[in-house]
Structure 1
Amino acid sequence: MTLVQKLVGLLALAVMLVAGSGAVTWQVQDWRYDKQLAEQAGLHKDDLAAISNAAAAQVRADQDKRLALEQRLSTSEQTHYKELSDAQTHQARLRDRLATSDLRLSVLLDVADSAGGCSVPAGTGAGGVVHAARRAELDPAHAQRIVAITDAGDKGLIALAACQAFVRELVQ
């Protein structure tokens, strides 16, 4: 063998060793990279599962809050409806008693009034609570109007209380 052949053989051997070590190194790096990718994929999967569970828990909590609010509002609405119904029933009874003259509305007269020359007849209240006070009975039509005004006021107050309760429930 000549020196050139030996050098060519040696060079070929060196190229094969370099190529072989490069291939082995490449394969080892590929294994490491695959392992890192698998670990990252597993961590990403775990993170997504944790985020999904947290979001689902938040949705359940919000739904529970909404359901509780709806129940409180329903109870409040039923309470205010009952109050309104009771007030309307009371006002209807009062109007009926006024219409049948079962009940007469009267007002106290001011004894020290300077316009005391008014010829309003005093009521004959034998069963009255205020003794020795002069009273004047109201005309039934005026009494009906007063009852209607107080009925509207009662309805307004009940509606206002319902609105305030609704706002309080929403703010809580």
Structure 2
Amino acid sequence: MRLFDLIPAQFRIAAMGLVLVFLAAGSAALAWTAQGWRYGQQLERQARLHADTLTEISLAGAALQRNEQDKRLALERRLRDKDEIHHQELTDEQTKQARLRDRLATADLRLSVVLATTDASGSCSMPTTTATGRVVHGPTRAQLDPAHAQRIIGITDAGDQGLIALRACQAYAKEVSTPK
């Protein structure tokens, strides 16, 4: 006896329809599951590619940032070296000016200026009278008062410091503005 014969005649068509519905639903569920696996694999592959792309972008950004930071550090190092050089120049100039002021104050050194000649007879640099203690023949000179000499040295000191500061500013502007 077969299983199909056990089903009453009026329900055999419904049973066959029910079996066909179960087969169709089972195959649809199986196809749905297989499609889900395939779709999941595609999503996983896309997610992996996206993550790899983001990793490459972040590595490129980090390399660019490191490169810019290295440039900035190199610029800071060059500026620091230039600043030390200009500071040393300024210190040396101040030391020279202080020595010069000390020599002027102790009368070890005297400043003098050339006097204008009003002699219409000629431009002979030989003095008409002999001066004691002087062997060099040249234009007539007058020695400056030590107080005036100190003021002149102070003015030249301020000028020298200004020139050194100007050179430092120009070097800084040139260093910052030129790409390396």
Q: TM-score, normalised by structure 1?
A: 0.81
Q: Which residue pairs with 1:110 in the alignment?
A: 116
1:14 aligned to which of 16, 20, 24: 20
Unaligned 5+ runs, structure 2: 1-7, 120-130
Deviation at residue 7 of structure 1 after TM alignment: 2.3
One-letter amino acid matched to 2:94:
Q
Matches within 5 A, 1:12-161: 12-112=18-118, 126=134, 131-161=137-167
Aligned residue for 2:142, secondary structure, equals strand
Q: Closer, same or farther in 2 for the Cα pair 1:88/1:11, shift >3 Å?
A: same
Mark the structure with the bigger radius of gyration.
Answer: 2
Paired with 1:169 and 1:7, the residues of 2 have a C-alpha distance of 96
Displaced runs of 4 or more, over 3 A: 124-128
Q: Percent identical across equivalent pairs? A: 55
Aligned residue for 2:86, secondary structure, equals helix
Paired with 1:14 and 1:55, the residues of 2 have a C-alpha distance of 60
Q: What CA RMSD, in Å, does the superposition of the two structures yield over aligned residues?
A: 2.2
Count how many residue pairs are aligned between Structure 1 and Structure 2. Answer: 159
Aligned residue for 1:136, secondary structure, equals strand
Deviation at residue 127 of structure 1 after TM alignment: 5.7
